[in-house]
Amino acid sequence: MTLHTSADAPITCAYWDEVVAEDGFLGLGRRRRCCTYAIYTDGTYYYSENGTTGALAYGGPNNLPAGTVDGTNFRDVFQATIDALDRGSICIGEGVYEWDDDITIDDRKNIIGAGVDSTTLRRTTANKTITILPGVAWTEGIYLTQMTLDGNDLDGTILDVQTGRRCSLQYLRVANSNDTGIHLSDGWGIDMNRCYVDSNDIGVLSEVNGAVLTHCILRFNDTTNMRIISEGTGNVLIGCVIEKANDAGAWNLEIQGGTKEEWADHKLIGCSFEDAPAGGGNIKIFNRSANDITGVKITNNYISEDGTGIWIEEATDTKILANHFRGVGTGVDIQASASDTVVAYNELDSTTEFADAGSGSMFRDNLGYNPVGNIANPFDAGNGLIEVSGAAATPAANTDYTVSGMDIKISSTDSGNTDCAIMLKDPGGNNVLQAALSTIDHMYVPRGFQLNWGAFTGAAPTVTVSFV
């Protein structure tokens, strides 16, 4: 690493040119950044220089200071530098830096590499973790950026953020752990921006309030690319690519209810979910306690390829709005334990279906072929329901049918019968039409309204029910 000194620097210190992403995802441009300490290696020794004086502070062949810090051990040099820093930046130059023991980072310290392709911190001992620890009043103002954290296919979490507040992880690659790549284990307000997390067992595990992931890529992780456990609330994913989980039966993203009974309010916005593994799917919303997970919102996402698009069980008030489903076996699969799910304004292709066994579900204004429950007959005389179906059918006489699942369009011919008197009623059973009709041509009927074909005789009417 080349260090520079200049009177033009923001404060009196060494500075270097940090790689940043100006024109690409992981760094093409550079910007000048001040370094309180600078760590670099010559391939044998690790050096930590004071950014203000340029003096060697830790490590090197003389094991500074006074023979106490092993200059051949990166972890010891790095940890000594972290501990000596009250606040400021530690810059780590190009090269591979191997760590063999736990590393802890606390308040108000920025750790900056030379780019994800240039600076690699590689673990050499299993179950050793880089941990962002709580400080005086929760960890605050920590910035970790521009490097690769390599788990070296060993057991143990690579990066554990504990009690984080305003902790920012940017332009990182975190890969190759037999456990979890990044564990957001406690706290709130953690920001992950343009991070690439791959080839772990679990890519990202979040148990915090208010974690925000923007433009991250999570892929090729085994059990799941990301698991959100609702001990915290309000996790938000914006513009992320989450795809290609490895294990059969795995899900690209899992959102689990926690032990707390509260509004989860997690949001997925403008993300891409693709290439789900066989037997699994893209997004699974489910619970692991007695309390339903509530208030998940999935909007403006692209959900594609194999498996189920979204699976919902033991969840309440889930909203699935304005997504594009393409090529999935079942777009949204709502289980009997789910309630009050809203599925609206989505776009579907000709192979995508919706399945609904939940209570209080609402399907409205979805574009594409989406039979609710994939039913063959729109009429359920036993329960008095009429639903979207792929085939024409006939109603029973003198039976009220309530529109279930979604708003519908209905066409009905009298087929030569007599006394066919179609009446439309509101959800309270009050007549809406001034006069009964013998035929209907593409009438719009809202969810919850009722239809009755009267006491017809002879051949039953032929009815087609389609989505709006």
Topology of 98-364 in CATH? Pectate Lyase C-like (2.160.20)
118 vs 360, which has greater pLDDT?
Answer: 118
The amino acid sitting at 156 is G
324, 345 contact by CB (below 8 A): no
pLDDT of 200 reads 98
User: Count of H helices and E strands in the chain?
Assistant: 1, 51
CA distances from 366 to 34, 303, 379, 404 (A): 53, 15, 21, 15
Mean pLDDT of the residues in the chain:
85
Instruction: Look up the pTM and report it.
Output: 0.81
* Percentage of the chain exceeding pLDDT 90: 52
Question: What integer is the mean pLDDT of 282-307?
Answer: 87
Residues 376-425 pLDDT 10s = 678 877 778 887 776 788 999 999 998 876 778 899 988 677 788 999 99
319, 288 contact by CB (below 8 A): no
Place 7 in a pLDDT band, splitting at 50, 70 and 90. very low
Residues 6+ apart with CB under 8 A from 362: 340, 341, 342, 343, 344, 405, 406, 447
Residues 159-185 pLDDT 10s = 999 866 678 999 999 999 999 999 998
Cα–Cα dist 27/25, whole Å:
6
Cα–Cα dist 232/163, whole Å:
12
| Every domain of the chain and the residues it spans | 98-364, 382-468
Cα–Cα dist 168/299, whole Å:
25
Residues 256-277 pLDDT 10s = 886 665 668 899 999 999 999 8
pLDDT at 9 over 50: no
